[in-house]
Amino acid sequence: MKIIIHGIAGRMGAEVARLTEEGFRGAELHAGVDLGGNASGFPCFQSLDQVPPGADCIVDFSNHSATKTLLAYACKTKTPVVLATTGHSEKELALIREAAREIPVFFSANMSLGVALLAEMAKKAAAIYPDANIEIVEIHHNRKLDAPSGTALLLANAIKEIRRSASFVLGRSGHGKRTEEEIGIHAIRMGNIVGTHEILISTDAETITLKHEAHSRALFAEGALAAAAFLCGKPAGLYQMRDMISF
Ligand SMILES: NC(=O)c1ccc[n+]([C@@H]2O[C@H](COP(=O)([O-])OP(=O)(O)OC[C@H]3O[C@@H](n4cnc5c(N)ncnc54)[C@H](O)[C@@H]3O)[C@@H](O)[C@H]2O)c1
């Protein structure tokens, strides 16, 4: 499976490139692409248009602002794409849905099995405790650009599948009581923390805490290559972790 790594000079791109050196899930590096040049030590083009044909899949860990160009290239070359980047605007999300009508697209703000499991557990808790207050706390390293994290939004949206009237309150401030339906989402940025997500579910009588801690970026890189292997040979469509894992 020949992979183009989009954003290869970044922290995550370099991690995926390292795994291709080991042949993880049968992956080999077809080409790296990065606006910022060859920072990771792997061969790197500055634009997708310079990449020779023949790739089986693109793995994207770059920036959401690259979405339009990236998807135009993937549709033109009929290359499946794993979108692991976060922070997309509504307009970019619409482009992703549009591209998925032409090519297979795997899109997940978190490529770890543990977070997929956490989302399922949160849905279960929301169903069992319809009146509980639910809050999400996420902690990431001090270089992270988007807040709240794509994973916190993924978890909040999973809960909203059960609690349809839920609204999201980002970093609560000011005066006034919380409403029953709101889900508070709180972002902490400090040090070198890879990614911690905590869901607190509280009634007057008890609190349940569901927590996931990523210990290494390799977790997400491995998940992205597993998603690439899953995507190869699939028909056009929008795929997510839930499609790859059966609970
Ligand atoms: N889905 C997941 O499981 C998961 C896990 C970790 C990080 N992420 C997301 O992946 C993205 C990258 O994270 P990171 O920590 O590696 O960031 P990073 O800043 O270390 O790396 C991003 C790289 O992308 C490059 N880049 C930016 N715009 C580009 C463009 N238009 N074309 C080509 N290259 C471009 C940058 O030069 C940089 O080298 C972020 O959106 C982050 O939130 C997702």
CA 221 vs CA 11, 39, 49, 73: distances in Å: 10, 18, 24, 22
Q: Is 26 in the pocket of ligand 1 (CB under 6 A)?
A: no
d(CA 223, CA 94): 24
Closest CA to 6 of 49, 62, 55, 57: 62
d(CA 79, CA 122): 34
CA dihedral (115, 247, 17, 237) in degrees, to 10, reads -110
Which residues, 6+ apart, have CB-to-CB distance to 126 below 8 Å?
Answer: 132, 134, 159, 162, 163, 201
Q: What is the pLDDT of residue 188?
A: 98
In this predicted structure, the answer to whether residue 122 has a pLDDT above a threshold of 90 is yes
The percent of residues above 90 in pLDDT, for the chain, comes to 93
C-alpha radius of gyration, the chain, whole number: 19
Q: Taking the model in full, what pTM does it have?
A: 0.89
Q: Is 132 in the pocket of ligand 1 (CB under 6 A)?
A: no
Amino acid, res. 111: M
pLDDT digits (tens, 9 = 90+) for 171-226: 999 999 999 999 999 999 999 999 999 999 999 999 999 999 999 999 999 999 99
Q: What is the pLDDT of residue 89?
A: 96
CA 14 vs CA 105, 137, 174, 181: distances in Å: 22, 28, 42, 41
Which residues, 6+ apart, have CB-to-CB distance to 91 below 8 Å?
Answer: none
The best mutation among 63, 194, 239 to test binding of ligand 1, ranked by most ligand atoms within 8 Å of the C-beta, falls on: 63
Q: Is 9 in the pocket of ligand 1 (CB under 6 A)?
A: yes
pLDDT bracket for residue 247 (50, 70, 90): low
d(CA 213, CA 197): 7
Q: Is 148 in the pocket of ligand 1 (CB under 6 A)?
A: no
pLDDT bracket for residue 239 (50, 70, 90): very high
User: Would you name the residues annotated as active-site residues?
Assistant: 140, 144
Domains and CATH numbers, the chain: 2-111+217-244 (3.40.50.720), 113-214 (3.30.360.10)
